[in-house]
Chain A
Amino acid sequence: EIVLTQSPGTLSLSPGERATLSCRASQSVSTTYLGWYQQKPGQAPRLLMYGASSRATGIPDRFSGSGSGTDFTLTISRLEPEDFAVYYCQQYGSSPWTFGQGTKVEIK
């Protein structure tokens, strides 16, 4: 099983600041099979990125993804009020599909 470890657990930032979220895999993951999701309280998750760096439909360009191998990053260039949420990475290249434990981006 591929274990995904996200860091930090919580990120305290102000609107307008840059957020950098990390996702580290216990073994190599092809960029094709790495995604990021956003979840707000009481809501279902929403797909942000797939293939490590491709934005899903309707996702603004302040969100970007990068990385390869075992290290992946989600960057939010300038935080908007609606971006404060929990973010999860996921690998879907091998069974079992796995999620990271999440990073909470909170208002400082």
Chain B
Amino acid sequence: EVQLLESGGELVQPGGSLRLSCAASGFTFSSYAMSWVRQAPGKGLEWVSVISGSGGSTYYADSVKGRFTISRDNSKNTLYLQMNSLTAEDTAVYYCANHFHTSVYTALDYWGQGTLVTVSS
């Protein structure tokens, strides 16, 4: 059974940093691209970032480019999102999701339950 468990979300002050983690199990982690998707309170889904199975390809939404970094440790079956220079607009539930395939150009198959990041003073 595929399981994705996000952690690391918490209350942080504007300008602060946070690192989210997503622990994966139930599939061959290194064979699948992974994404982060966020959802602000009461709003729709916003794709944040994607990384290929090998970690060699990464892409970012313009809203986070230069501030967020996606990475993965295939030996630990874990996906990360390093978030810097946080603003109130980054407040959201952050979901990790695995793609159908190692390619980033595939749908998001399984999703975690999300972790809440709140940016406020």
Chain A interfacial positions (CB closer than 8 Å to B): 1, 32-33, 35, 37, 39, 43-47, 50-51, 56, 88, 90, 92-93, 95-102
Contacts and interface: CB of A to CB of B under 8 A. Distances in A.
B111 A99 contact: no
A90 B108 contact: yes
B47 interface: yes
Given A37-B45, A88-B44, A44 B59 contact: no
Given A96-B59, A96-B62, A97-B35, A47 B107 contact: yes
Nearest to B110: A47
A90 B109 CA distance: 12
Given A44-B95, A50-B106, A102 B100 contact: no
A55 to B, nearest CB: 12
B48 to A, nearest CB: 9
Given A45-B45, A88-B44, 19 more contacts: A32-B105, A33-B105, A35-B107, A44-B111, A44-B113, A45-B37, A45-B111, A47-B107, A56-B109, A90-B47, A90-B108, A92-B105, A93-B105, A95-B59, A96-B61, A96-B62, A97-B47, A99-B45, A102-B44
A80 to B, nearest CB: 22
Interface of B: 35, 37, 44-47, 50, 59-62, 95, 100, 104-114
Contacts of B107: 35, 47, 50-51, 56, 90, 92
Contacts of B108: 35, 37, 45, 47, 90, 92
A96 B36 CA distance: 12
Given A44-B112, A44-B114, A50-B106, A88 B59 contact: no
A38 to B, nearest CB: 11
A99 B46 contact: yes
Question: Which 7 pairs from chain A and chain B are nearest by CB?
Answer: A50-B107, A35-B107, A44-B111, A97-B47, A95-B59, A99-B45, A102-B44
